[in-house]
C-alpha cells in the first residue's frame, strides 16, 4: 500500500510533456550532416517542424528533390513540416512537394506565404523570394494577419535573414519593411536561415531573431568580431527545439550530434531592447 501511494505521488509530481516544435533549414550539399540532423529532429519527437528554406541546390531538379525526400523520410513520416522557400528552391518543384496551408493562397503569393495556429501559438511563414516591400501584396497580407493576432504569441519564419553575422549578413531591405511591423504587433521570435550556421540575437525591441541554417549546406566563416546585438553564434551544423510552456518559449540549439549549444527562455510578455544593426 505504501509503495502504491509513493508511486501515485511520483506520477502526480511528474511534469507534463511540453508542446514542442523544431526548426532547421539549408539542407543541401552534405548528405551525411543532413541525415544526422533529420535523425536527431525525428528522435526529439516534436509536434511539428519549421523548415527555413534551401532544401536542394537546384530547385528545378526532380532528382534532387527525390533525393531530399528520401533523406527527410524520418521527419516526413512522423510529423507535419511547414516550409518557406529559399533562393535555391525556386522552380516548379517546391509546391509539388509540400501541401501548404491556404491562408496565403491569393494574388501573386500563390500560397507561398501563409499562417497557421498550433501549440497555442500563431505562426507566419513569409516568402523572401518575392517582394516584401511597402505596397506589395505580401506585406499588406502580413500586416493584416499580424494585426489580427496581436494578442496571441506569434512566431515568424522566413529564409533570408534580417539579422545575421554570417557570410550573407542581414538584409537591410527586409529590416526596413518588417522590423517596425514585427515590433508593432509584438512578434516574439523570428527564425531565419540563408547563412549556414546558428545565431541568436539579444532581444531587439522585444523581438528575438534566430538564424538556423545548419541542416547540411556547407558552412562559411562568420564575421569577426560579433556585432553588439549578437548573443550567441555557432558556425556548424545543427537544429533548434522549442518547448512551449504556459509562460515562455524554451529555445534550445543543438549541434548535429545532439550536443546542447545554446539555451534561452523567451517570456511570453518580453519587451526588452538592444542596439539595432543588421550585421
pLDDT tens by residue, 140-191: 999 999 999 999 999 999 999 999 999 999 999 999 999 999 999 999 999 9
Gap between the Cα atoms of 112 and 127, Å rounded: 6
Lowest mean pLDDT among 8-17, 20-29, 53-62: 8-17
Q: What is the DSSP string of 187-212?
A: --EEEE-SSSSEEEEPPBTTBEEEEE
Gap between the Cα atoms of 166 and 185, Å rounded: 27
- pLDDT confidence of 278, banded at 50, 70, 90? low
Can you give the pTM of this predicted structure?
A: 0.89
Dihedral angle at the C-alpha atoms of 243, 248, 253, 259, nearest 10 degrees? -70
pLDDT tens by residue, 82-130: 999 999 998 878 888 887 776 554 444 567 899 999 999 999 999 999 9
- pLDDT confidence of 37, banded at 50, 70, 90? very high
Q: What proportion of the chain, given as a percentage, has pLDDT over 70?
A: 87
Lowest mean pLDDT among 1-10, 182-191, 199-208, 214-223: 1-10
- pLDDT confidence of 47, banded at 50, 70, 90? very high
Mean pLDDT along residues 236-249 = 96
| pLDDT the model gives residue 70 | 97
Mean pLDDT of the chain: 89
- pLDDT confidence of 10, banded at 50, 70, 90? very low
Q: Which residue has the cell 497580407?
A: 141
User: 155: closest CA among 180, 118, 200?
Assistant: 118
| pLDDT the model gives residue 84 | 95
Ordered structural domains, the chain, with CATH: 16-267 (3.60.21.10)
Which SS3 state, helix, strand or coil, does residue 181 take?
helix
| pLDDT the model gives residue 247 | 93
Q: Cis peptide leading into 184, omega within 30 of 0?
A: no
| pLDDT the model gives residue 14 | 35
Q: Judge contact between 236 and 213, C-beta under 8 A.
A: no
Q: What proportion of the chain, given as a percentage, has pLDDT over 90?
A: 81
Tell whether the model's pLDDT for residue 76 goes beyond 80.
yes
Amino acid at each position: 500500500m505504501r509503495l502504491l501511494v509513493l508511486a501515485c505521488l511520483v506520477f502526480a509530481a511528474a511534469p507534463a510533456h511540453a508542446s514542442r516544435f523544431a526548426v532547421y533549414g539549408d539542407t543541401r550539399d552534405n548528405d551525411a550532416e543532413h541525415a544526422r540532423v533529420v535523425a536527431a529532429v525525428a528522435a526529439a519527437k516534436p509536434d511539428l517542424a519549421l523548415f527555413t528554406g534551401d532544401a536542394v541546390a537546384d530547385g528545378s531538379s526532380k532528382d534532387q528533390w527525390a533525393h531530399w525526400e528520401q533523406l527527410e523520410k524520418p521527419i516526413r513520416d512522423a510529423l507535419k513540416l511547414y516550409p518557406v522557400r529559399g533562393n535555391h528552391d525556386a522552380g516548379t518543384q517546391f509546391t509539388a512537394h509540400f501541401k501548404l496551408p491556404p491562408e496565403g493562397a491569393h494574388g501573386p503569393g500563390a500560397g507561398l506565404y501563409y499562417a497557421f495556429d498550433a501549440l497555442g501559438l500563431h505562426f507566419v511563414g513569409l516568402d523572401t523570394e518575392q517582394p516584401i516591400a511597402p505596397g506589395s501584396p505580401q506585406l499588406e497580407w502580413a500586416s493584416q494577419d499580424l494585426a489580427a493576432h496581436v494578442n496571441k504569441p506569434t512566431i515568424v519564419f522566413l529564409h533570408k535573414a534580417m539579422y545575421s553575422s554570417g557570410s550573407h549578413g542581414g538584409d537591410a531591405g527586409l529590416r526596413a519593411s518588417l522590423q517596425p511591423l514585427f515590433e508593432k504587433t509584438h512578434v516574439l521570435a523570428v527564425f531565419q536561415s540563408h547563412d549556414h550556421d546558428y545565431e541568436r540575437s539579444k532581444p531587439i525591441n522585444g523581438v528575438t531573431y534566430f538564424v538556423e541554417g545548419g541542416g547540411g549546406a556547407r558552412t562559411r566563416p562568420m564575421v569577426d568580431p560579433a556585432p553588439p546585438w549578437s548573443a550567441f553564434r555557432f558556425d556548424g551544423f545543427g537544429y533548434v527545439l522549442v518547448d512551449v510552456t504556459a509562460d515562455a518559449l524554451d529555445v534550445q540549439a543543438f549541434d548535429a550530434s545532439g550536443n546542447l549549444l545554446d539555451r534561452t527562455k523567451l517570456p511570453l510578455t518580453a519587451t526588452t531592447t538592444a542596439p539595432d544593426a543588421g550585421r
